[in-house]
Amino acid sequence: MTDVVAAIQDAWTELRIHRGRVLMSLIGVTVAIAALTASVAVGELARSTLLVSMEANGGRPATVTFWISPASDRMPTTGDQLAAIDAVDEAVERYRVEYASVQTGGYVPLGAQGEGLDIRGVDPDFAVMRHLGVAEGRFLVESDRARLAPAIVVNRGMLDALGGGDMALHRTVEVGGVTAVVVGVVDRGLGDQWPQAWMLPRDVIRVADASGQSGGMSSLSLEVWLPEEMVEDGTRMLSQDLRSALPGSSVDGSRSDWQAFDGYDPLLPLQLTLVGTAVVILLLGALGLVTVAVVSIRQRVREFGIRRAFGASRSRIFVAVMLESVVGTVVAGAIGIALCIFAYRLPIVQETLTQGIGGVVLPGFPMGAAITGLLVSAAVGALAGSIPAAIAVRSKVIEAIRF
């Protein structure tokens, strides 16, 4: 351990002595590592954003959706729909499914204007399964089932249709002739320009029945979030259970999240692009560093000869020369990463990354990108330093002293 520390100290000393020779190359490495770190960070953010978007549309892996269609000989009544929800709840409880949500919906009149409102009937787990966050208030919870006035979560477009403002100005709202209590507001930026709302499934059925729109309700479905190793068995058992509980109904279950499409990886083009960019950046940075290091070594032949004459071994010189490059690139990489983090925090950069969409808050700078930058900077330093180090140890003592 002492030898390693001593070697690093020697490398740092030599780096300070010859800082003029390596300054330009380290500036190039700083820029290269900063670009690499930025590309990795943007890639991770893009990957995270893309995954959230796909999971918001189709559910998290592994999400299985069961479409429940009533018997075709007659239109389903409100009692049929409520009975189907009861059967679903019993099946979910029986198999102890941790995350599940009934889904139904339709269009009902909003307020006295009669404007159509897209209302979705979902359970509280829906927000977790679909990354549906609230900007104000909260989402639906289990205790809302006991309310006399149904709880409703609205989007920004619905608030705008009601006259604008925040949730405090619209504590209640008339939907389909029923007074509902607004408990939360969803703000998805540009995606929330049209009025939309979420209520518990039984409350949606009651609202549709009161407004005379029950015939326009969508078919009932069940969405469950299962461990991937249990998808096949879970789908089979829940399908059989629901068919037994709902005689005459058709129950079809299949995986609906983005990973259900075998052989298709929507993130592969992005990953290949980032890898290609990173390789080009590293090659340019390493090439500049090797060029300067080789020229520097040629001018230090006498120094290495004297060190060899005083007993320095070939391995010690090799490690010392290589560590000069490693220490320099790590310092340069740390500076480049610091510049990336500083730039990431700038308001103009935040606005550019979010595309100006309201309600979107970027996470902290990805630590994976910073760690990758440091590791790559050390690896580039080791590879670039090994070439001049090999040249240094091949110098003969007598020839070096005569140089």
3-state secondary structure the chain: CHHHHHHHHHHHHHHHHCHHHHHHHHHHHHHHHHHHHHHHHHHHHHHHHHHHHHHHHHCCCCEEEEEEECCCCCCCCHHHHHHHHHHHHHHHHHCCCCEEEEEEEEEEEECCCCEEEEEEECCCCHHHHCCCCCCEECCCCHHHHHCCCCEEEEEHHHHHHCCCCCHHHCCEEEECCEEEEEEEEECCHHHHCCCEEEECHHHHHHHHHHHCCHHHCCCEEEEEECCHHHHHHHHHHHHHHHHHHCCCCEEEEEECCHHHCCCCCCCHHHHHHHHHHHHHHHHHHHHHHHHHHHHHHHCCHHHHHHHHHCCCCHHHHHHHHHHHHHHHHHHHHHHHHHHHHHHHCCHHHHHHHHCCCCCCCCCCCCHHHHHHHHHHHHHHHHHHHHHHHHHHHCCCHHHHHHC
Place of tokens 């300054």: 23
Q: Rounded CA gap, 97 and 90, in Å?
A: 11
Four-CA torsion 209, 212, 216, 217, nearest 10 degrees: -10
Q: Rounded CA gap, 288 and 22, in Å?
A: 10
Q: 197, 158 in Cβ contact below 8 A?
A: yes
Helix axes 367-393, 19-58, angle to 10 degrees: 150
Q: What is the pLDDT of residue 210?
A: 80
> How far does CA 69 lie from the centroid of its chain?
35
Q: 79, 235 in Cβ contact below 8 A?
A: no
The closest alpha carbon to 99, from 223, 203, 260, belongs to: 223
Phi-psi category of residue 127: left, alpha or beta, with phi > 0 → left and psi -120 to 50 → alpha: alpha
List the chain domain ranges.
2-55+265-402, 60-256
Q: What is the pLDDT of residue 44?
A: 73
pTM recorded for the entire structure = 0.70
Q: Rounded CA gap, 197 and 111, in Å?
A: 13
Q: 256, 101 in Cβ contact below 8 A?
A: no
Helix axes 314-344, 367-393, angle to 10 degrees: 150
Q: Rounded CA gap, 44 and 177, in Å?
A: 47
What length is written for the chain? 403
List the pLDDT tens digit at each of the 403 positions of the chain. Answer: 565 566 566 656 655 665 555 566 667 677 777 777 777 777 777 777 777 778 888 888 889 999 988 766 666 677 778 888 999 999 999 999 999 999 998 888 876 556 778 899 999 999 999 988 888 899 999 999 998 899 999 998 888 888 888 888 888 888 888 899 999 998 877 667 788 999 999 999 888 888 776 666 778 899 999 998 888 999 999 999 998 888 888 889 888 887 776 655 666 676 677 667 767 777 777 777 777 777 766 666 667 777 767 776 777 778 777 877 787 778 878 888 888 888 877 777 766 666 544 445 566 777 877 888 888 888 888 887 787 777 777 766 565 555 5
